[in-house]
Amino acid sequence: MHANYLGGSTMPRQIVLAARPSGWPAPDNFTLVEADSQPLEEGQIRVRNQFMSVDPYMRGRMNDVESYVPPFQIGQPLDGGAVGEVVESRSDAFSPGDLVLHGLGWRDEAVLDAARARKVAPIEGLPNSAFLAVLGMTSLTAYVGLLDMASFKEGDAVFISGAAGAVGSIAGQIAKLKGASRVVGSAGSAEKVEYLRSIGFDAAFNYKDAPVAEQLKDAAPDGIDVYFDNVGADHLEAAIGSLRNFGRVAMCGAIAVYNATEPPAAPRNLALAVGKRLTLRGFIVTDHMDRMTAMVTEISEWLREGKLSYQETVVDGLENAPEAFLGMLRGENTGKMIVRL
């Protein structure tokens, strides 16, 4: 089975970290290498990856800083969410042909302990990439951030930055579906602003057009109750200015900061959090896997009913994964950025 899959002489390829970026990463921070196919140990499975995820948090892992996930190592393959088909198994839990979700992306072929993979059932009408996005960590991030971290409740006015991104576009739709009084999104192009309106955002603006604080005040003149932060810095400052008393911020990411070489001077108005009684909560989705079932149940229902739409930007080929990652950091994707392998 294994030899067959490899088609004889083809060696599995992977992307390794060639050098740590300072500021914005570039193609030469990555190298595509071929690697000997690893023999399976007892309890392991071999997976032919079909899709892999590129996500903003990976930028942080390229720095040599201990964080909630260990940093990538120079000369070692990158990793991240992936979905693929089991092609060889030395575990009773999996058989060849099974579709599995796991954490060894950035490579054609993954060898891992069976315990680190989760079997998923393909869903008619959805590509398998959905398990990386609308039925996976992307939607879980949106769901947990909005409902648990920001304690969203019916009637709240919500602002979402990076709203045309994978997480933001789902978060905004969940807010609408759960009775938000108003959902405002920011994004980085006119096309994305149009996309946000098309999926039900009440207002959307291009943050490059004018200061965020001004545009947010126009878009939500009565203020906001919840801010879902994917950007940080000036977006967060604008949100703090617009938040009403007892407002909540889910701090999901800070893409404005990831590639900065100087720390941002914003938000400069954080002291307003005292008088407004604001709560700001940073979170990492992997702490909240216990919410996966609830999320999948609700999101599946909305998908079936045609109430929730989602978009993927798909790039083909492992060799183009670094470019897909860089493009995602530059905001070239609408919805989830996916690499098809």
Q: In angstroms, rounded to a whole number, what is the distance separating the alpha carbons of residues 230 and 236?
A: 9
Q: Does 287 bind a copy of itself (CB under 8 A)?
A: yes
121 binds a copy of itself (CB under 8 A): no
> If binding is defined by CB under 8 A, does position 259 make contact with a copy of itself?
no
Exactly one of 31, 128, 279, 309 binds a copy of itself (CB under 8 A); that residue is: 279
- Other residues' Cβ atoms within 10 Å of the Cβ of residue 194: 14
CB of 318 to a copy of itself, least distance (A): 28
Spatial distance between the Cα atoms of 323 and 315, rounded to a whole number of angstroms: 9
CA 233 centroid distance within chain: 19
| Minimum CB–partner distance for residue 155 and a copy of itself (Å) | 20
CB of 280 to a copy of itself, least distance (A): 4
By beta-carbon proximity to a copy of itself, the closer residue of 149 and 337 is 149
Closest CA to 144 of 276, 302, 252, 274: 252
Residue 265 binds to a copy of itself (criterion: CB under 8 A): yes
**Would you count residue 254 as binding a copy of itself (CB under 8 A)?**
yes
Binds a copy of itself (CB under 8 A): choice among 117, 251, 295, 337: 251
Considering the complex, state which of residue 117 and residue 160 has its C-beta at the smaller distance from a copy of itself: 160
| Angle, alpha carbons 233-324-96 (nearest 5°) | 120
Single out the segment in contact with a copy of itself by CB under 8 A; choices: 11-19, 184-192, 271-279, 297-305. Answer: 271-279
DSSP 22-87: SSS--GGGEEEEE-PPPPPPTTEEEEEEEEEE--THHHHHTSS---SSPPP-BTSB--B-EEEEEE
**Which residue lies nearer to a copy of itself by CB, 121 or 274?**
274
Q: 67 phi and psi, to 5 degrees?
A: -135, -155
Q: Least distance in Å: CB of 317 to a copy of itself?
A: 31
DSSP 303-339: HHTT-----EEEEE-GGGHHHHHHHHHTT--SBEEEE
**Applying CB under 8 A, which of residues 20, 281, 309, 327 lies at the interface with a copy of itself?**
281
**Site track for a copy of itself across 68-87, x = CB under 8 A:** x-------------------
User: Nearest distance from residue 61's CB to a copy of itself, in Å?
Assistant: 10
271 forms part of the interface with a copy of itself (CB under 8 A): yes
Residue ranges of E strands in 120-176: 157-160
Cβ atoms within 10 Å of 329's Cβ, excluding its own: 20
**262 burial via Cβ count (<10 Å: 0-12, 13-18, 19+):** exposed
Q: Which is nearer to a copy of itself, 214 or 287 (CB)?
A: 287
Per-residue contact string for residues 215-234; x = within reach of a copy of itself by CB under 8 A:
-----------------xx-
Q: Taking the CA atoms of the chain, what radius of gyration do you get in angstroms?
A: 21
Please state, as a whole number, how many other Cβ atoms lie within 10 Å of the Cβ of residue 191.
12
276 lies in the binding site for a copy of itself (CB under 8 A): yes
Q: Considering only the stretches 153-161, 162-170, 253-261, 307-315, report the one whose residues sit in contact with a copy of itself under the rule CB under 8 A.
A: 253-261
Stretch that binds a copy of itself, among 16-24, 47-55, 60-68, 290-298 (CB under 8 A): 60-68
Nearest alpha-carbon partner for 227 in 141, 157, 159? 159
- Distance CA(104)–CA(97), nearest Å, equals 18
Question: Quick one: which of 273, 291, 327, 331 contacts a copy of itself (CB under 8 A)?
Answer: 273
Counted residue by residue, the chain has a size of 341
- Does 253 bind a copy of itself (CB under 8 A)? Our answer is yes
Which residues 6+ apart lie within 8 Å of 102 measured at CB?
Answer: 47, 81, 82, 83, 84, 110, 112, 116, 117, 118
Binding residues for a copy of itself, total number by CB under 8 A: 34
Residues that bind a copy of itself (CB under 8 A): 60, 67-68, 232-233, 236, 245, 251-254, 257, 263-265, 267-284, 287
